[in-house]
Amino acid sequence: MKFQFWTAIIGLILFMSCAGYAADKDITVVRVTPALDMDQIRYILSHEREQVFERGMVLNEKQWDKFWRVYDEYEKERQKLDAKRLRLLGTFINKHGTMSNEEATKLVDASRKNQQADLALRQKYFKILSKKLNPVAAARFVQLDDVVGMVVRLSILGNVPLITGTAEAVAEPESSPQTGERQPGPSEQSSPAAPQP
Protein backbone atom coordinates (compact mmCIF):
# COMPACT_ATOMS: atom_id res chain seq x y z
CA MET A 1 0.00 0.00 0.00
CA LYS A 2 2.89 2.37 0.80
CA PHE A 3 4.32 1.73 -2.65
CA GLN A 4 0.99 2.64 -4.28
CA PHE A 5 0.69 5.78 -2.17
CA TRP A 6 4.16 7.05 -3.02
CA THR A 7 3.65 6.07 -6.64
CA ALA A 8 0.53 8.25 -6.67
CA ILE A 9 2.38 11.16 -5.07
CA ILE A 10 5.31 10.86 -7.47
CA GLY A 11 2.87 10.57 -10.36
CA LEU A 12 1.16 13.76 -9.25
CA ILE A 13 4.50 15.54 -8.93
CA LEU A 14 5.48 14.45 -12.42
CA PHE A 15 2.09 15.43 -13.78
CA MET A 16 2.19 18.84 -12.17
CA SER A 17 5.86 19.53 -12.83
CA CYS A 18 6.31 22.25 -15.37
CA ALA A 19 10.10 22.21 -15.31
CA GLY A 20 10.59 18.81 -16.92
CA TYR A 21 9.40 17.23 -20.08
CA ALA A 22 6.78 14.52 -19.96
CA ALA A 23 8.18 11.13 -20.91
CA ASP A 24 4.69 9.83 -21.62
CA LYS A 25 2.70 11.60 -24.34
CA ASP A 26 -0.51 11.12 -22.32
CA ILE A 27 0.74 13.43 -19.57
CA THR A 28 -0.29 17.05 -19.92
CA VAL A 29 2.33 19.57 -18.85
CA VAL A 30 0.70 22.77 -17.65
CA ARG A 31 2.62 26.05 -17.85
CA VAL A 32 1.34 28.99 -15.86
CA THR A 33 1.24 32.04 -18.06
CA PRO A 34 -1.07 35.04 -18.15
CA ALA A 35 -3.02 33.32 -20.95
CA LEU A 36 -3.48 30.02 -19.07
CA ASP A 37 -6.98 28.60 -19.18
CA MET A 38 -8.24 28.82 -15.59
CA ASP A 39 -10.73 25.99 -16.21
CA GLN A 40 -7.78 23.73 -16.93
CA ILE A 41 -6.14 24.68 -13.63
CA ARG A 42 -9.38 24.10 -11.71
CA TYR A 43 -9.76 20.67 -13.33
CA ILE A 44 -6.25 19.66 -12.34
CA LEU A 45 -6.64 21.00 -8.82
CA SER A 46 -9.79 18.98 -8.19
CA HIS A 47 -9.36 15.76 -10.19
CA GLU A 48 -5.71 15.04 -9.45
CA ARG A 49 -6.33 15.72 -5.76
CA GLU A 50 -9.22 13.26 -5.75
CA GLN A 51 -7.03 10.52 -7.23
CA VAL A 52 -4.41 11.02 -4.52
CA PHE A 53 -7.09 10.54 -1.86
CA GLU A 54 -8.40 7.42 -3.60
CA ARG A 55 -4.93 5.90 -3.47
CA GLY A 56 -3.75 7.32 -0.16
CA MET A 57 -6.65 6.86 2.24
CA VAL A 58 -6.96 3.41 3.82
CA LEU A 59 -10.67 2.91 4.47
CA ASN A 60 -13.27 0.17 4.40
CA GLU A 61 -16.35 0.38 2.17
CA LYS A 62 -18.57 1.97 4.83
CA GLN A 63 -15.88 4.55 5.64
CA TRP A 64 -15.41 5.39 1.95
CA ASP A 65 -19.08 6.35 1.67
CA LYS A 66 -18.77 8.68 4.65
CA PHE A 67 -15.44 10.04 3.44
CA TRP A 68 -16.66 10.98 -0.05
CA ARG A 69 -19.72 12.75 1.32
CA VAL A 70 -17.52 14.86 3.59
CA TYR A 71 -14.89 15.28 0.87
CA ASP A 72 -17.48 16.69 -1.55
CA GLU A 73 -18.38 19.38 0.99
CA TYR A 74 -14.70 20.06 1.61
CA GLU A 75 -14.04 20.34 -2.11
CA LYS A 76 -16.79 22.96 -2.52
CA GLU A 77 -15.25 25.13 0.19
CA ARG A 78 -11.70 24.55 -1.03
CA GLN A 79 -12.61 25.57 -4.58
CA LYS A 80 -13.58 29.01 -3.28
CA LEU A 81 -10.11 29.37 -1.74
CA ASP A 82 -8.50 28.11 -4.95
CA ALA A 83 -10.45 30.69 -6.95
CA LYS A 84 -9.11 33.46 -4.69
CA ARG A 85 -5.60 32.03 -4.99
CA LEU A 86 -5.86 31.98 -8.79
CA ARG A 87 -7.09 35.58 -8.83
CA LEU A 88 -4.09 36.54 -6.67
CA LEU A 89 -1.82 34.70 -9.06
CA GLY A 90 -3.34 36.55 -12.01
CA THR A 91 -2.85 39.88 -10.25
CA PHE A 92 0.74 39.00 -9.49
CA ILE A 93 1.51 37.90 -13.06
CA ASN A 94 0.01 41.07 -14.48
CA LYS A 95 1.84 43.35 -12.04
CA HIS A 96 5.10 41.54 -11.22
CA GLY A 97 7.28 43.95 -13.21
CA THR A 98 5.50 47.16 -12.23
CA MET A 99 4.40 46.49 -8.66
CA SER A 100 4.36 49.40 -6.23
CA ASN A 101 5.14 49.12 -2.52
CA GLU A 102 1.44 49.39 -1.70
CA GLU A 103 0.47 46.70 -4.23
CA ALA A 104 3.21 44.37 -2.94
CA THR A 105 2.01 44.82 0.63
CA LYS A 106 -1.62 44.16 -0.35
CA LEU A 107 -0.63 41.07 -2.35
CA VAL A 108 1.40 39.57 0.50
CA ASP A 109 -1.40 40.32 2.98
CA ALA A 110 -4.01 38.70 0.71
CA SER A 111 -1.75 35.67 0.25
CA ARG A 112 -1.29 35.34 4.02
CA LYS A 113 -5.05 35.49 4.57
CA ASN A 114 -5.60 32.85 1.90
CA GLN A 115 -3.04 30.52 3.49
CA GLN A 116 -4.60 31.02 6.93
CA ALA A 117 -8.03 30.22 5.48
CA ASP A 118 -6.53 27.08 3.93
CA LEU A 119 -5.23 25.92 7.32
CA ALA A 120 -8.53 26.75 9.03
CA LEU A 121 -10.43 24.74 6.41
CA ARG A 122 -8.16 21.72 6.93
CA GLN A 123 -8.62 21.98 10.68
CA LYS A 124 -12.40 22.20 10.29
CA TYR A 125 -12.50 19.04 8.16
CA PHE A 126 -10.03 17.26 10.42
CA LYS A 127 -12.60 17.64 13.21
CA ILE A 128 -15.48 16.52 10.98
CA LEU A 129 -13.60 13.46 9.69
CA SER A 130 -12.40 12.61 13.21
CA LYS A 131 -16.04 12.28 14.24
CA LYS A 132 -17.28 10.53 11.08
CA LEU A 133 -14.29 8.16 10.71
CA ASN A 134 -11.54 8.47 13.35
CA PRO A 135 -8.68 10.86 14.15
CA VAL A 136 -6.05 8.71 12.42
CA ALA A 137 -7.96 8.70 9.12
CA ALA A 138 -8.63 12.43 9.53
CA ALA A 139 -4.93 13.09 10.11
CA ARG A 140 -4.10 11.11 6.98
CA PHE A 141 -6.56 13.28 5.05
CA VAL A 142 -4.83 16.43 6.36
CA GLN A 143 -1.42 15.02 5.46
CA LEU A 144 -2.47 14.06 1.93
CA ASP A 145 -4.18 17.39 1.38
CA ASP A 146 -1.07 19.22 2.55
CA VAL A 147 1.17 17.22 0.21
CA VAL A 148 -1.10 17.84 -2.77
CA GLY A 149 -1.33 21.53 -1.91
CA MET A 150 2.45 21.83 -1.73
CA VAL A 151 2.95 20.02 -5.04
CA VAL A 152 0.43 22.26 -6.76
CA ARG A 153 1.92 25.42 -5.25
CA LEU A 154 5.48 24.42 -6.17
CA SER A 155 4.54 23.57 -9.73
CA ILE A 156 2.79 26.90 -10.18
CA LEU A 157 5.14 29.14 -8.22
CA GLY A 158 8.19 27.59 -9.86
CA ASN A 159 7.07 29.19 -13.11
CA VAL A 160 6.08 32.60 -11.79
CA PRO A 161 8.68 35.34 -12.23
CA LEU A 162 10.13 37.07 -9.19
CA ILE A 163 8.92 40.57 -8.40
CA THR A 164 10.96 43.19 -10.25
CA GLY A 165 8.83 46.28 -9.70
CA THR A 166 10.34 49.74 -9.58
CA ALA A 167 9.00 50.64 -6.16
CA GLU A 168 10.28 53.59 -4.22
CA ALA A 169 12.80 52.95 -1.45
CA VAL A 170 11.63 52.89 2.14
CA ALA A 171 13.25 55.57 4.32
CA GLU A 172 16.22 54.29 6.37
CA PRO A 173 16.57 55.16 10.07
CA GLU A 174 18.78 58.21 10.50
CA SER A 175 22.41 57.84 11.59
CA SER A 176 23.94 59.70 14.51
CA PRO A 177 25.86 62.80 13.40
CA GLN A 178 28.52 62.26 16.10
CA THR A 179 29.29 58.57 15.57
CA GLY A 180 27.88 57.85 12.13
CA GLU A 181 26.22 54.77 13.66
CA ARG A 182 22.70 53.87 12.76
CA GLN A 183 20.18 54.92 15.40
CA PRO A 184 17.46 52.41 16.35
CA GLY A 185 14.05 52.96 14.81
CA PRO A 186 10.94 53.45 16.97
CA SER A 187 10.16 49.73 17.09
CA GLU A 188 13.77 48.90 17.97
CA GLN A 189 14.13 51.28 20.90
CA SER A 190 14.17 49.51 24.22
CA SER A 191 12.63 50.63 27.44
CA PRO A 192 14.90 52.52 29.84
CA ALA A 193 17.34 50.21 31.57
CA ALA A 194 16.86 49.50 35.23
CA PRO A 195 19.46 51.11 37.47
CA GLN A 196 22.41 48.85 38.18
CA PRO A 197 23.19 48.17 41.87
pLDDT in tens, 93-118: 887 778 888 888 898 899 899 999 99
146-169 tens-digit pLDDT: 988 888 788 777 777 777 766 566
Q: What pLDDT sits at residue 29?
A: 40
Confidence of residue 27 (pLDDT cuts 50, 70, 90): very low
> Does residue 197 lie within any of the structural domains?
no
Asked whether the beta carbons of 173 and 186 are under 8 A apart, the reply is no
In the prediction, which pLDDT does 63 show? 95
Residue 42 lies in a domain: yes
Separation of alpha carbons 61 and 74, rounded Å? 20
Residue 46 lies in a domain: yes
Which residues lie closer than 8 Å to 17 by C-beta, 6 or more apart?
29, 155
If we measure between CA atoms, which residue out of 113, 143, 141 comes closest to residue 125?
141
In this model, does residue 31 exceed pLDDT 50? no
Query: Can you give the pLDDT at residue 127?
Result: 98
More confident residue, 178 or 129: 129
pTM confidence score: 0.61
* Sequence-separated contacts (24+) of 97-105 with Cβ below 8 Å: 97/161, 97/164, 97/165, 98/165, 98/166, 99/163, 99/165, 99/167, 100/165, 100/167, 100/168, 101/167, 101/168, 101/170, 103/165, 104/163, 104/165, 104/167
In a domain, 21, yes or no: yes
Residue 114 structural domain = 2-157
pLDDT of 173: 59
Q: By percentage, how much of the chain surpasses pLDDT 70?
A: 60
**Residues 6+ positions from 22 with CB-CB distance below 8 Å:** 14, 28, 29
Tell whether 175 is covered by a domain.
Answer: no
Q: 3-state class of 175 per DSSP?
A: strand
pLDDT value of residue 137 = 96
**pLDDT score of 100:** 84
Give the pLDDT of residue 175. Answer: 57
Which pLDDT does position 94 carry in this prediction? 80
The neighbouring-strand residues paired with 175 are: 182
In a domain, 77, yes or no: yes
Which of these, 110, 88, 106, 112, lies nearest to 160 by C-alpha position? 88
Residue 191 within any structural domain of the chain:
no
The reply to whether 134 falls in a domain is yes
- Cβ atoms of 116 and 185 closer than 8 Å: no
Question: Is residue 56 pLDDT above 80, yes or no?
Answer: yes
Q: What is the pLDDT of residue 112?
A: 93
**Per-residue model confidence as pLDDT tens digits over 13-24:** 544 444 333 433
pLDDT value of residue 32:
43
How many domains is the chain built from?
A: 1
Rounded alpha-carbon distances, angstroms, from residue 62 to 56, 66, 69, 126 = 17, 7, 11, 18
CB 96 within 8 A of CB 162: yes
Determine the pLDDT at residue 166.
62
pLDDT the model gives residue 24? 38
pLDDT at 72: 94
